[in-house]
A = this chain, B = another copy of it.
Amino acid sequence: MAKKRLVIVGLGLIGGSLALALKGFEDFEIVGVDVSQPTLRFAAEHGVGDTVTEDAATVLPTADVVVLALHPRGIVDFLAQHRDRFPAGCLITDVCGVKTAILEAAEVLPDTVDFIGCHPMAGTEFSGIEHAFGEMFQGSHLILVPRKNSTPEHIALMERLAAYIGCRDVYRTTAEEHDAMIAYTSQLMHIIAVSVCDDPMLFTCRGFEGSSFRGCTRVAALDVGLWTELFSMNRPALVASVDRLLESLTAYRAALSSGDNAVLSAKLARSAARKRQMDLPGPDLLS
Protein backbone atom coordinates (compact mmCIF):
# COMPACT_ATOMS: atom_id res chain seq x y z
CA MET A 1 0.00 0.00 0.00
CA ALA A 2 1.32 3.42 -0.93
CA LYS A 3 2.24 5.75 1.89
CA LYS A 4 0.04 8.72 2.73
CA ARG A 5 1.47 12.13 2.07
CA LEU A 6 1.89 14.93 4.59
CA VAL A 7 3.01 18.07 2.78
CA ILE A 8 4.66 20.88 4.74
CA VAL A 9 4.58 24.16 2.83
CA GLY A 10 7.36 26.44 4.05
CA LEU A 11 10.55 24.97 5.51
CA GLY A 12 11.50 27.79 7.85
CA LEU A 13 12.12 27.52 11.58
CA ILE A 14 8.71 26.00 12.41
CA GLY A 15 8.06 24.07 9.17
CA GLY A 16 11.59 22.65 9.21
CA SER A 17 11.31 21.66 12.88
CA LEU A 18 7.94 20.05 12.22
CA ALA A 19 9.38 18.07 9.27
CA LEU A 20 12.15 16.78 11.54
CA ALA A 21 9.77 16.02 14.42
CA LEU A 22 7.29 14.18 12.14
CA LYS A 23 9.86 11.81 10.65
CA GLY A 24 8.37 8.32 10.94
CA PHE A 25 4.90 9.49 11.94
CA GLU A 26 2.47 6.62 11.20
CA ASP A 27 2.49 5.74 7.50
CA PHE A 28 3.10 9.28 6.26
CA GLU A 29 5.72 10.35 3.77
CA ILE A 30 6.82 13.88 4.72
CA VAL A 31 7.10 16.15 1.68
CA GLY A 32 8.70 19.56 2.14
CA VAL A 33 7.81 22.47 -0.15
CA ASP A 34 9.70 25.75 -0.36
CA VAL A 35 10.37 28.42 -2.98
CA SER A 36 13.98 28.97 -1.88
CA GLN A 37 16.65 26.85 -3.57
CA PRO A 38 19.15 27.21 -0.69
CA THR A 39 16.43 26.09 1.73
CA LEU A 40 15.57 23.07 -0.45
CA ARG A 41 19.27 22.14 -0.71
CA PHE A 42 19.70 22.44 3.05
CA ALA A 43 16.57 20.32 3.61
CA ALA A 44 17.73 17.61 1.20
CA GLU A 45 21.23 17.51 2.69
CA HIS A 46 19.99 17.37 6.30
CA GLY A 47 17.03 15.04 5.84
CA VAL A 48 14.40 17.67 6.63
CA GLY A 49 11.44 15.86 5.05
CA ASP A 50 11.56 12.56 3.16
CA THR A 51 11.45 14.44 -0.14
CA VAL A 52 11.48 18.13 -1.05
CA THR A 53 10.17 20.12 -3.98
CA GLU A 54 9.58 23.68 -5.09
CA ASP A 55 6.47 22.68 -7.03
CA ALA A 56 3.45 23.09 -4.76
CA ALA A 57 0.99 22.93 -7.66
CA THR A 58 2.10 19.41 -8.60
CA VAL A 59 2.33 17.92 -5.12
CA LEU A 60 -0.87 19.35 -3.59
CA PRO A 61 -3.30 17.11 -5.55
CA THR A 62 -1.50 14.06 -4.08
CA ALA A 63 -1.64 15.26 -0.46
CA ASP A 64 -3.58 13.69 2.41
CA VAL A 65 -2.52 16.40 4.88
CA VAL A 66 -1.13 19.86 4.10
CA VAL A 67 0.53 21.97 6.81
CA LEU A 68 0.92 25.64 5.89
CA ALA A 69 4.04 26.85 7.72
CA LEU A 70 4.23 30.28 6.09
CA HIS A 71 3.90 33.77 7.53
CA PRO A 72 0.23 34.76 8.05
CA ARG A 73 -0.10 36.80 4.83
CA GLY A 74 1.64 33.99 2.97
CA ILE A 75 -0.98 31.53 4.23
CA VAL A 76 -3.84 33.83 3.14
CA ASP A 77 -2.29 34.19 -0.32
CA PHE A 78 -1.47 30.48 -0.65
CA LEU A 79 -5.03 29.43 0.18
CA ALA A 80 -6.47 31.83 -2.42
CA GLN A 81 -3.95 30.77 -5.06
CA HIS A 82 -4.19 26.99 -4.56
CA ARG A 83 -7.80 26.62 -3.36
CA ASP A 84 -8.74 24.22 -6.16
CA ARG A 85 -5.65 21.99 -5.97
CA PHE A 86 -6.44 20.21 -2.69
CA PRO A 87 -7.95 16.74 -3.29
CA ALA A 88 -11.30 15.73 -1.79
CA GLY A 89 -10.93 14.58 1.82
CA CYS A 90 -7.67 16.48 2.33
CA LEU A 91 -6.92 17.98 5.75
CA ILE A 92 -5.32 21.42 5.62
CA THR A 93 -3.84 22.98 8.73
CA ASP A 94 -1.34 25.70 9.66
CA VAL A 95 1.03 26.68 12.46
CA CYS A 96 0.71 30.43 12.69
CA GLY A 97 0.14 32.68 15.67
CA VAL A 98 -3.13 34.37 14.69
CA LYS A 99 -6.29 32.48 13.92
CA THR A 100 -9.24 34.76 13.10
CA ALA A 101 -7.64 36.03 9.88
CA ILE A 102 -6.52 32.51 8.89
CA LEU A 103 -9.91 30.88 9.48
CA GLU A 104 -11.51 33.67 7.46
CA ALA A 105 -9.03 33.08 4.64
CA ALA A 106 -9.84 29.36 4.72
CA GLU A 107 -13.41 30.19 3.71
CA VAL A 108 -12.18 30.21 0.08
CA LEU A 109 -11.66 26.43 0.25
CA PRO A 110 -14.22 24.08 -1.31
CA ASP A 111 -16.49 22.03 0.98
CA THR A 112 -14.70 18.87 -0.09
CA VAL A 113 -11.69 19.60 2.13
CA ASP A 114 -11.26 20.14 5.88
CA PHE A 115 -9.38 23.04 7.48
CA ILE A 116 -8.31 22.95 11.15
CA GLY A 117 -6.36 25.91 12.49
CA CYS A 118 -3.35 24.94 14.57
CA HIS A 119 -0.87 26.83 16.77
CA PRO A 120 1.96 24.96 18.49
CA MET A 121 3.09 27.23 21.34
CA ALA A 122 6.76 26.78 20.54
CA GLY A 123 9.52 28.60 18.73
CA THR A 124 12.73 30.48 19.22
CA GLU A 125 13.90 34.01 18.43
CA PHE A 126 15.68 32.71 15.31
CA SER A 127 14.30 32.04 11.84
CA GLY A 128 15.20 29.82 8.91
CA ILE A 129 15.71 26.11 8.35
CA GLU A 130 19.27 26.20 9.68
CA HIS A 131 17.83 26.84 13.17
CA ALA A 132 15.19 24.08 12.94
CA PHE A 133 15.35 21.21 15.42
CA GLY A 134 13.04 18.25 15.92
CA GLU A 135 12.77 18.68 19.69
CA MET A 136 11.17 22.14 19.40
CA PHE A 137 7.68 21.01 20.38
CA GLN A 138 8.62 18.87 23.39
CA GLY A 139 6.49 19.91 26.36
CA SER A 140 4.60 22.63 24.47
CA HIS A 141 0.89 23.28 24.32
CA LEU A 142 -0.77 22.79 20.93
CA ILE A 143 -3.93 24.72 20.18
CA LEU A 144 -6.51 23.53 17.66
CA VAL A 145 -9.21 25.68 16.09
CA PRO A 146 -11.53 23.28 14.23
CA ARG A 147 -14.38 24.47 12.03
CA LYS A 148 -18.00 23.42 12.58
CA ASN A 149 -17.70 20.72 9.93
CA SER A 150 -14.23 19.44 10.87
CA THR A 151 -14.35 15.65 11.09
CA PRO A 152 -13.62 13.75 14.33
CA GLU A 153 -11.13 11.66 12.35
CA HIS A 154 -9.12 14.73 11.38
CA ILE A 155 -9.21 16.14 14.91
CA ALA A 156 -8.02 12.76 16.20
CA LEU A 157 -5.24 12.78 13.59
CA MET A 158 -4.08 16.22 14.79
CA GLU A 159 -4.05 14.95 18.38
CA ARG A 160 -1.91 11.95 17.42
CA LEU A 161 0.40 14.27 15.50
CA ALA A 162 0.70 16.52 18.57
CA ALA A 163 1.55 13.54 20.75
CA TYR A 164 4.11 12.27 18.22
CA ILE A 165 6.04 15.55 18.12
CA GLY A 166 6.08 15.67 21.94
CA CYS A 167 3.45 18.25 22.81
CA ARG A 168 2.36 18.27 26.43
CA ASP A 169 -1.32 18.75 25.71
CA VAL A 170 -3.86 19.81 23.10
CA TYR A 171 -6.42 22.55 23.67
CA ARG A 172 -9.38 23.20 21.40
CA THR A 173 -10.77 26.69 21.16
CA THR A 174 -12.29 29.29 18.83
CA ALA A 175 -10.34 31.70 16.66
CA GLU A 176 -11.58 34.65 18.70
CA GLU A 177 -10.60 33.14 22.06
CA HIS A 178 -7.23 32.06 20.66
CA ASP A 179 -6.41 35.57 19.45
CA ALA A 180 -7.50 37.23 22.72
CA MET A 181 -5.37 34.81 24.77
CA ILE A 182 -2.34 34.99 22.51
CA ALA A 183 -2.38 38.80 22.62
CA TYR A 184 -1.59 38.43 26.32
CA THR A 185 0.52 35.28 26.58
CA SER A 186 2.68 35.73 23.50
CA GLN A 187 2.36 39.04 21.67
CA LEU A 188 2.54 41.17 24.83
CA MET A 189 5.73 39.32 25.89
CA HIS A 190 7.31 40.39 22.60
CA ILE A 191 6.18 44.01 23.05
CA ILE A 192 7.69 43.96 26.56
CA ALA A 193 10.97 42.51 25.27
CA VAL A 194 11.43 45.12 22.54
CA SER A 195 10.37 47.93 24.89
CA VAL A 196 12.96 46.87 27.49
CA CYS A 197 15.59 46.84 24.72
CA ASP A 198 14.67 50.42 23.75
CA ASP A 199 16.00 51.59 27.15
CA PRO A 200 18.99 53.94 26.77
CA MET A 201 20.87 51.82 29.35
CA LEU A 202 20.82 48.70 27.15
CA PHE A 203 24.41 48.93 25.96
CA THR A 204 25.90 50.18 29.21
CA CYS A 205 24.40 47.39 31.33
CA ARG A 206 26.65 44.60 30.01
CA GLY A 207 28.01 42.64 32.95
CA PHE A 208 24.94 43.38 35.06
CA GLU A 209 22.38 41.18 33.34
CA GLY A 210 21.21 37.97 34.97
CA SER A 211 18.77 35.24 34.09
CA SER A 212 15.68 37.42 34.61
CA PHE A 213 16.95 39.95 32.05
CA ARG A 214 17.84 37.24 29.57
CA GLY A 215 14.47 35.53 30.09
CA CYS A 216 12.50 38.73 29.56
CA THR A 217 14.41 40.10 26.56
CA ARG A 218 15.31 36.89 24.65
CA VAL A 219 12.48 37.23 22.13
CA ALA A 220 13.31 40.87 21.30
CA ALA A 221 15.59 39.65 18.49
CA LEU A 222 12.45 38.84 16.54
CA ASP A 223 11.63 38.29 12.86
CA VAL A 224 10.40 41.80 12.01
CA GLY A 225 8.27 40.89 9.00
CA LEU A 226 6.54 38.02 10.79
CA TRP A 227 5.77 39.95 13.96
CA THR A 228 4.58 43.05 12.12
CA GLU A 229 1.98 40.76 10.50
CA LEU A 230 1.07 38.96 13.72
CA PHE A 231 0.67 42.21 15.68
CA SER A 232 -1.26 44.05 12.98
CA MET A 233 -3.61 41.08 12.39
CA ASN A 234 -4.56 41.09 16.08
CA ARG A 235 -4.37 44.79 16.82
CA PRO A 236 -7.39 45.48 19.08
CA ALA A 237 -6.68 42.56 21.43
CA LEU A 238 -2.98 43.44 21.62
CA VAL A 239 -3.60 47.13 22.32
CA ALA A 240 -6.02 46.09 25.09
CA SER A 241 -3.30 43.84 26.58
CA VAL A 242 -0.74 46.66 26.46
CA ASP A 243 -3.23 48.95 28.19
CA ARG A 244 -3.79 46.44 30.98
CA LEU A 245 -0.02 46.13 31.46
CA LEU A 246 0.42 49.92 31.55
CA GLU A 247 -2.25 50.00 34.27
CA SER A 248 -0.56 47.26 36.34
CA LEU A 249 2.89 48.86 35.98
CA THR A 250 1.52 52.26 36.95
CA ALA A 251 -0.02 50.73 40.07
CA TYR A 252 3.38 49.25 41.00
CA ARG A 253 5.03 52.60 40.35
CA ALA A 254 2.58 54.22 42.78
CA ALA A 255 3.25 51.57 45.45
CA LEU A 256 7.01 52.05 45.02
CA SER A 257 7.02 55.82 45.10
CA SER A 258 4.60 55.97 48.05
CA GLY A 259 7.51 54.91 50.25
CA ASP A 260 5.10 52.71 52.24
CA ASN A 261 6.79 49.30 52.47
CA ALA A 262 3.68 47.64 53.92
CA VAL A 263 1.71 48.61 50.81
CA LEU A 264 4.50 47.43 48.51
CA SER A 265 4.91 44.17 50.40
CA ALA A 266 1.16 43.40 50.35
CA LYS A 267 1.04 44.06 46.62
CA LEU A 268 4.07 41.83 45.94
CA ALA A 269 2.57 39.08 48.10
CA ARG A 270 -0.63 39.14 46.04
CA SER A 271 1.19 38.98 42.69
CA ALA A 272 3.61 36.27 43.82
CA ALA A 273 0.70 34.17 45.12
CA ARG A 274 -1.07 34.54 41.76
CA LYS A 275 2.05 33.32 39.95
CA ARG A 276 2.41 30.33 42.28
CA GLN A 277 -1.27 29.47 41.87
CA MET A 278 -0.98 29.76 38.10
CA ASP A 279 1.88 27.25 38.14
CA LEU A 280 -0.17 24.64 39.98
CA PRO A 281 -1.15 21.79 37.70
CA GLY A 282 -4.37 22.83 36.05
CA PRO A 283 -7.30 20.78 34.75
CA ASP A 284 -6.75 18.41 31.87
CA LEU A 285 -6.66 20.60 28.79
CA LEU A 286 -7.85 17.93 26.37
CA SER A 287 -11.42 18.92 25.76
Contact = CB atoms under 8 A, between A and B. Distances in A.
Interface in A250-264: 250-253, 256-257, 259, 261, 264
Interface string A175-200: 00010111011101111111111111
Given A224-B268, A256-B242, A184 B212 contact: no
Given A207-B171, A227-B268, A278-B206, A249 B256 contact: no
Interface size class of A (residues with CB under 8 A): 35 or more
A108 B193 CA distance: 42
Main DSSP-derived SS at the A contact region: helix
Given A181-B204, A205-B185, A195 B275 contact: no
Query: 10 tightest CB-CB pairs across the interface, nearest first?
Result: A215-B215, A194-B271, A121-B210, A220-B275, A189-B212, A195-B248, A171-B207, A181-B208, A228-B265, A198-B248
A35 interface: no
Interface of A: 121-124, 140-141, 143, 169, 171, 178, 180-182, 184-186, 188-222, 224-225, 227-228, 231-232, 235, 238-239, 241-246, 248-253, 256-257, 259, 261, 264-265, 267-272, 274-279, 282, 285
